[in-house]
């Protein structure tokens, strides 16, 4: 359970890495086999190639070369002693002493080298032992008469031969060790070649997996961004673009979503501005025309269920001239507020233009139409309007009423309501007139 949580955290942490970190991590993964191979190759070279080669060269320089010199001297000494035993004379003593001194020097060098190669020590002790015996019998052999073969000469030949054979054994062991070192070096090189080849394949595999993974993540996220942009372009702004990786593209998606939300807000504001009157907040003339057309289509033969009120503020120009345009604007806003407050939930209030308003009364009976109109007229007349001088004033409205009827067009209804409004204003204002009906006085 704990392992699962840790793995999930690790995956989530990886998903939250930036694209730059992804690329860096991918490059590190690709380079990991090469780095491992380099480390392994260095260690292999140092431990099994370089060290072995150095040891072999060191052994040859410190032991093999002195050994070969001693063997040459042994051959020369043996040849000189044989000649001396056949011809006689003491001149060979000085030559032997020089050769003996050279042998002793080379043996000393070999003993110094043996301290680093103790496995050869017993062989060198044997060589030294036989050489010491050679030195003991050599003076007697040198002074012996020509063509005389005595025991000392036989001992001399035997001891120097055994010393030579042991030197030969030592040379053979050095040669065998050199071959072993050579084979070991070749094997190490072959192992390195195998590891290097494996590293190449691993690096290629890691590169393919890394590139494929990053490509798929980028392509999926990019496709989502493009798909989201196309949806927004086609008018679908409800669905957000869901991109979580990499963080750079997630930031782009979040910015795009924020922009889309802002567009939706601005479009709503534009739609509201297109539907509403800026000063009063009521629906505007364009919205009135649309709603009238819808009501006419919906009404059909249901005469009397819908009525139109055409409203005009009485003597509004005079009010403006007397109190100023700002006071006039306040008066229009207060009239609009009263109309909206007196309207039922099914009714709709519009600013028709200037100081004119309209009200669509829906689902209302004929005897209720005039009552509603009178209630509105009376409420407006009672409303106190603040004036710039600190006092309060009032305005009145005239209303023309027309009920919807089957077969009547937009122009018919609006025209008859407007005619009734004209009659109300002509008969003294502050009145409600039903189209083709008598006026109702205040």
* Catalytic sites, residue numbers: 355
Gap between the Cα atoms of 108 and 160, Å rounded: 18
Rounded to 5 degrees, φ, ψ at 245 are -135, 150
Pairing verdict, β 348-353 and 385-386: unpaired
Structure token digits, residue 432: 């409600």
Reported residue count of the chain is: 442
Q: Are 398 and 289 in contact (CB under 8 A)?
A: no
Distance of CA 441 to CAs 310, 326, 421, 433, 438, Å? 17, 31, 13, 9, 9
Distance of CA 142 to CAs 69, 70, 158, 351, Å? 23, 20, 16, 149
Q: Which residue has the tokens 């004209």?
A: 422
Gap between the Cα atoms of 336 and 277, Å rounded: 11
Residues in CB range of 327: below 8 A, 6 or more apart: 319, 320, 385, 386, 387, 388
Gap between the Cα atoms of 420 and 310, Å rounded: 8
């Amino acid at each position: 359970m704990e392992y699962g949580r840790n793995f999930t955290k690790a995956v989530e942490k990886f998903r939250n890495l930036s694209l730059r970190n992804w690329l860096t991590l991918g490059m590190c993964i690709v380079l990991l086999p090469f780095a491992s191979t380099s480390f392994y190759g260095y260690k292999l070279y140092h431990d099994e190639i370089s060290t072995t080669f150095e040891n072999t060269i060191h052994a040859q320089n410190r032991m093999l070369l002195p050994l070969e010199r001693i063997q040459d001297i042994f051959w020369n000494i043996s040849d000189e002693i044989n000649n001396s035993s056949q011809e006689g004379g003491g001149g060979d003593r000085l030559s032997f002493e020089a050769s003996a001194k050279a042998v002793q020097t080379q043996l000393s060098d070999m003993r110094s080298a043996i301290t680093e190669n103790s496995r050869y020590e017993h062989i060198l002790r044997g060589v030294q032992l036989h050489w010491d015996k050679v030195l003991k019998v050599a003076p007697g052999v040198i002074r012996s008469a020509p063509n005389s073969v005595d025991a000392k000469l036989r001992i001399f030949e035997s001891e120097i031969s055994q010393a030579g054979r042991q030197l030969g054994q030592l040379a053979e062991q050095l040669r065998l060790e050199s071959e072993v070192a050579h084979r070991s070096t070749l094997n190490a090189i072959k192992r390195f070649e195998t590891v290097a080849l494996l590293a190449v394949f691993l690096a290629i595999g890691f590169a393919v997996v890394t590139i494929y993974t990053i490509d798929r993540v980028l392509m999926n996220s990019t496709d989502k961004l493009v798909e989201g942009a196309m949806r927004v372009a086609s008018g679908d702004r409800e669905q957000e673009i869901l991109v979580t990786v990499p963080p750079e593209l997630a930031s782009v998606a979040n910015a795009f979503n924020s922009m889309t939300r802002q567009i939706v807000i601005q479009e709503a504001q534009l739609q509201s501005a297109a539907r509403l009157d800026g000063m009063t907040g009521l629906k505007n003339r364009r919205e009135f025309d649309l709603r009238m057309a819808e009501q006419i289509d919906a009404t059909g033969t249901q005469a009397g269920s819908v009525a139109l009120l055409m409203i005009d503020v009485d003597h509004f120009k005079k009010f403006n001239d007397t109190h100023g345009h700002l006071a006039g604007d306040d008066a229009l806003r207060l009239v609009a507020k009263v109309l909206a407050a007196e309207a039922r939930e099914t009714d709709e209030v519009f600013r028709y233009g200037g100081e004119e308003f309209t009200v669509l009364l829906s689902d209302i009976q004929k005897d209720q139409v005039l009552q509603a109109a009178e209630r509105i007229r009376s409420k407006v007349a009672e409303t106190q309007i603040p004036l710039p001088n600190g006092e309060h004033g009032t305005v009145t409205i005239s209303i023309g009423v027309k009920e919807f009827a089957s077969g009547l067009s937009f122009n018919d209804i609006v025209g008859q309501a407007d005619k009734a409004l004209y009659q109300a204003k002509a008969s003294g204002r502050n009145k409600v007139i039903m189209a083709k009906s008598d006026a109702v006085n205040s």
